[in-house]
Amino acid sequence: MTDSGRLTVIAGPMFSGKSEELMRRVRRATIAGVDVLVVSHSLDTRSDISTITSHTGVNIPAVPLGDVASLAEAARQKDYDLIAIDEAQFFGQDLVPAVDELLRQGIDVIVEGLCVTFDGQPFEPLPSFMAVAEDVLRLTAVCTVCGKDAVFHQRLEQTGSPIGSDSATGAQNPAATPAATTIDASHIGGLDTYVARCRQHFTGAGQEA
């Protein structure tokens, strides 16, 4: 009987070093002779889709895939020991049973991605993975206002003000909040469209920016 694989989750807001931690673990596994498949989602077009690139510019090669079915097919191409999945939120909730099947086959899996949306809601499938993983690393970013630990990231308007806030004062605008939550949580972006925020300065919590 094949031993089950081990599930590791690396989660946090944007700018928390998730991709860098994934790359560190992949490099370590490669040095140890582990056969690794590194997967990214083809939606992530912030850099070359054939690499995983951190916000600091560090990168490693990856196989870009568009859906869970493609992941299952890629996993069958070779007898992999470890599959590392970058930006797992783009694959959606269907990734949960797909990863479970890989684990049952004895393949270790690292799932990395956002666990919170720009409006402060749980971002599946990361919370589901965190509930059943053997190892969970929950990272924080640095608040751009005060420098404290940031568990949120805030989406910016074209004016530079956080979505859901008054553009003049930065204070939370209740009338704007419902509209903000309908915006695609998977919107791709970086420092030009998102900022890291602590709980106090996250406007989705009704605080001033």
pTM score: 0.81
User: Is 88 annotated as a binding-site member?
Assistant: yes
Indicate whether 152 pLDDT > 80. Answer: yes
User: Is 202 annotated as a binding-site member?
Assistant: no
Residue type, 31: I
Distance CA 40, CA 86 (A): 5
Let me know whether 64 and 158 are in one domain. Answer: no
> Which residues are catalytic, by number?
87
Q: How many domains does the chain have?
A: 2
3-state secondary structure of 196: strand
Let me know whether 135 and 180 are in one domain. Answer: no
Residues of the chain above pLDDT 90, percent? 67
Is residue 19 in some structural domain? Answer: yes
Distances (CA, A) of 2 to 50, 109, 135: 32, 15, 20
User: Is 3 annotated as a binding-site member?
Assistant: no
Let me know whether 38 and 132 are in one domain. Answer: yes
CATH number at residue 13: 3.40.50.300
